């Protein structure tokens, strides 16, 4: 075993004694200056995971929508999915081991997983545009090479691009070419094929304004745009040239604040969208002629996409089951619309992509979106095969055409993880094909007014939840209090949950009016103290 080399290099990435972190919902996340040892050790763990799975493993350096001063790291498993849960525990143990314990913790993982250290390994590394990301990714590389593992540094990529690349590398190119260029080609080809089917070939569609959150998404959408040629007219704001990453902009800001980002010139009726800091989330919005802001969040996106797919499924006459997965944050109106009007089964999962992704895998076609704009569509092997078969063997022209459209949607959607660029292209294609304006899309159903706040408490772990985070079981009496408060309003709902990424408790409420939603959320906040 080469652990001597590991320990030697570790002195260059020494862990400050006493610091502890947890591999949370989206990996490790904290102030960038506390992450050097974490990166080094995640490099080690990625190499071990690669040996164990005999596959390429991804390491993404990013803190997504969090402030520019923060950073973080997450591992990507062979098929481009999130790291399996059992290894999250190894990650936490490895990162929290003091220097003198490092060897023991590593040896334990190797033993427990029966890893053959002679096996080959390879790690794919990507990073966002944060000033700290480059050095932190070098620390990852030090960890990877300390275990004699191979690596490929993909440099500046969006999180979903790295997930895509990892999946391609492990499926012999069946998912696509494992490069950023291959990603652009796959997506632009599929988008073009869909756009061509629209009544006027897309000529009538107005320009889309994009808020790039001053991050990696802005950089990459410029590259994507070159591949899209004139098929889609885009105008980019917050491209990183002046503004600070995620500062008063980006998908999270727009969703939580329920207002447009700064740095964007919004004209009434214009279709706009915001990416988050690593481009795995997207939300749409527009201003109406009365200067009122309208948000089309992950729930509206899920509704648009699942309705479109369901209509195509009817045309191809395939009995594939489709389900939509949401979280507790899903607007009550969206759930009602999907279940009652669309007759699509809806499931609620815990917050965090891995939970939604996992649930969505149970269906032939699983559509999952968090209200915050993270989501995608998963097609089972059976679904893909049946659809492909019908592209040539469909009963009639209409069915063949619908099957072809579904096939292009399969190519256009990033099935490994939510992807702002890919989701944007799917949405734009649907709007084109259906001849929908953003206003018409918005009118499909009306959101219940809602508000979310965060409360800082001494220990967020005193709150424990059940029923996909919709009810609390601890501390005693809290749920009864919330139930009582909710009763005071119409069409109301509220829940509290400990954040998985910050040291806070999140509180969400919805009700018939914005005033009532605001009043309810404040009352529930007080009950949490
Ligand atoms: C992470 C999750 C996101 C979730 C958010 C909730 C991934 C890739 N990202 O950003 O899906 O909505 O955490 O944060 O899983 P919270 O627990 O702090 O509310
Ligand atoms: Zn993100």
Check pLDDT > 70 for residue 459.
yes
CA distance 224 to 186: 11
64 is catalytic: yes
- Among 146-155, 269-278, 497-506, the range scoring the smallest mean pLDDT is 497-506
User: What distance in angstroms lies between residue 455's CA and the mean position of ligand 1's atoms?
Assistant: 17
Check pLDDT > 70 for residue 134.
yes
In the 8-state DSSP scheme, what is residue 14? P
CA distance 127 to 511: 40
- The set of residues, in sequence order, having a beta carbon less than 8 Å from that of 173 and lying 6+ positions away, is none
Question: Which atom of ligand 1 lies at the shortest distance from residue 500's CA?
Answer: 17
pTM: 0.96
- The set of residues, in sequence order, having a beta carbon less than 8 Å from that of 234 and lying 6+ positions away, is 207, 208, 209, 210, 221, 225, 228
CA distance 19 to 42: 16
- Which pLDDT belongs to residue 205? 74
Question: Which atom of ligand 1 lies at the shortest distance from residue 372's CA?
Answer: 12
Q: Output the average pLDDT for the chain.
A: 95
Give the tens place of pLDDT for each residue, 59-73: 999 999 999 999 999
Instruction: Provide the 3-class DSSP secondary structure of residue 285.
Output: strand
- Which pLDDT belongs to residue 193? 95
Q: Which two tokens stand for residue 74?
A: 């997450």
The percent of residues above 90 in pLDDT, for the chain, comes to 91
Q: Is the minimum distance from the CB of 500 to ligand 1 under 6 angstroms? A: yes
Check pLDDT > 90 for residue 457.
no
End-to-end alpha-carbon separation of the chain, Å?
52
Beta bridge partners of 82: 76
pLDDT band at 331 (very low <50, low <70, confident <90, very high): very high
Q: Is the dihedral of CA 258, 264, 269, 274 positive or negative?
A: negative
Q: At what angle do helices 159-170 and 420-434 cross, to 10 degrees?
A: 90
> Per-residue pLDDT averaged across 391-418, rounded?
94
> Per-residue pLDDT averaged across 137-163, rounded?
98
Which of 364, 407, 367 has its CA nearest to residue 383?
Answer: 364
pLDDT band at 394 (very low <50, low <70, confident <90, very high): confident
**Whose C-alpha lies nearest to ligand 1, atom 12?**
352
CA distance 331 to 304: 15
Check pLDDT > 70 for residue 1.
no
- Which pLDDT belongs to residue 393? 85
Question: Which atom of ligand 1 lies at the shortest distance from residue 374's CA?
Answer: 11
- The set of residues, in sequence order, having a beta carbon less than 8 Å from that of 399 and lying 6+ positions away, is 315, 316, 317, 390
User: What distance in angstroms lies between residue 352's CA and the mean position of ligand 1's atoms?
Assistant: 5
Check pLDDT > 70 for residue 433.
yes
Which of 382, 384, 187 has its CA nearest to residue 279?
Answer: 187
Check pLDDT > 80 for residue 2.
no
> Per-residue pLDDT averaged across 35-53, rounded?
98
Helices (H), 84-231: 85-96, 102-112, 133-146, 159-170, 180-195, 216-228
Task: Enumerate helices (H) and strands (E) in the chain, giving the number of each.
Answer: 18, 19
Q: Is the minimum distance from the CB of 370 to ligand 1 under 6 angstroms? A: yes
- Which pLDDT belongs to residue 201? 66
Q: Which two tokens stand for residue 23?
A: 């591999």
Give the tens place of pLDDT for each residue, 186-222: 999 999 999 999 887 666 678 999 999 999 999 999 9
User: What distance in angstroms lies between residue 130's CA and the mean position of ligand 2's atoms?
Assistant: 13
* Count of other CB atoms within 10 angstroms of residue 242: 8
Which of 263, 168, 269 has its CA nearest to residue 218?
Answer: 263
Check pLDDT > 70 for residue 473.
yes
Comparison of pLDDT for 35 and 200, the residue scoring more: 35
């Amino acid at each position: 075993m080469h652990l001597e080399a590991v320990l030697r290099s570790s002195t260059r990435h020494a862990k400050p004694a006493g610091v502890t972190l947890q591999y949370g919902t989206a990996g490790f996340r904290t102030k960038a200056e506390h992450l050097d040892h974490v990166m080094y050790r995640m490099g080690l763990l990625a190499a071990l995971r690669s040996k164990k799975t005999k596959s390429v493993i991804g390491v993404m350096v990013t803190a997504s929508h969090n402030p520019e001063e923060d950073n973080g790291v997450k591992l990507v498993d062979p098929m481009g999915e999130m790291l399996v849960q059992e290894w999250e525990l190894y990650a936490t143990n490895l990162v929290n081991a003091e220097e003198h314990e490092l060897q023991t913790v590593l040896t334990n993982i190797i033993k427990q997983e029966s890893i053959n250290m002679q096996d080959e390994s390879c790690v794919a590394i990507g990073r966002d545009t944060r000033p700290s990301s480059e050095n932190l990714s070098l620390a990852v590389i030090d960890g990877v090479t300390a275990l004699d593992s191979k690596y490929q540094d993909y440099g500046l990529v969006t999180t979903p691009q790295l997930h895509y690349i990892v999946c391609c590398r492990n499926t012999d190119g069946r998912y696509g070419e494992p490069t950023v260029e291959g990603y652009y080609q796959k997506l632009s080809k599929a988008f073009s094929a869909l756009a061509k089917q629209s009544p006027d070939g897309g000529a009538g569609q107005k320009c889309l304004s994009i808020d790039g959150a001053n991050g990696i998404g802005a950089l990459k959408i410029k590259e994507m745009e070159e591949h899209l040629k004139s098929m889609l007219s885009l105008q980019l704001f917050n491209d990183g040239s002046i503004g600070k990453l995620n500062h008063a902009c980006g998908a999270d800001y727009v969703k939580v604040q329920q207002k447009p980002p700064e740095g964007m010139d919004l004209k009434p009726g214009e279709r706009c969208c915001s990416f988050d800091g690593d481009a795995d989330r997207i939300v749409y919005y527009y201003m109406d002629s009365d200067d009122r802001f309208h948000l089309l969040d992950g729930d509206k996106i899920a509704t648009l996409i699942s309705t479109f797919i369901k209509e195509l499924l009817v045309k191809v006459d395939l009995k594939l089951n489709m389900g939509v997965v949401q979280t507790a944050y899903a607007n009550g109106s969206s759930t009602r619309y999907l279940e009652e009007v669309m007759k699509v089964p809806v499931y609620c999962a815990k917050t965090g992509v891995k939970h939604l992704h996992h649930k969505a895998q149970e269906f032939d076609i699983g559509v999952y979106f968090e209200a915050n704009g993270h989501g995608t569509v998963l097609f089972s092997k059976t679904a893909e095969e049946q659809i492909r078969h019908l592209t040539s063997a469909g009963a009639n022209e209409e069915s063949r055409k619908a099957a072809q459209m579904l096939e292009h949607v399969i190519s256009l959607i990033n099935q490994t993880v939510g992807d702002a660029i890919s989701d944007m292209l799917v949405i734009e294609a649907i709007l084109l094909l259906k001849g929908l304006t953003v206003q018409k899309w918005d009118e499909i159903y009306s959101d219940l007014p809602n508000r979310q706040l965060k409360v800082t408490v001494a220990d967020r772990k005193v709150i424990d939840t059940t029923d996909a985070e919709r009810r609390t079981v601890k501390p005693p009496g809290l749920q009864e209090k919330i139930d009582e408060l909710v009763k005071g309003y119409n069409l109301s709902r509220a829940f509290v949950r400990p954040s998985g990424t910050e040291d806070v408790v999140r509180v969400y409420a919805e009700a018939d009016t914005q005033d009532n939603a605001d009043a309810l959320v404040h009352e529930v906040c007080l009950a949490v103290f």
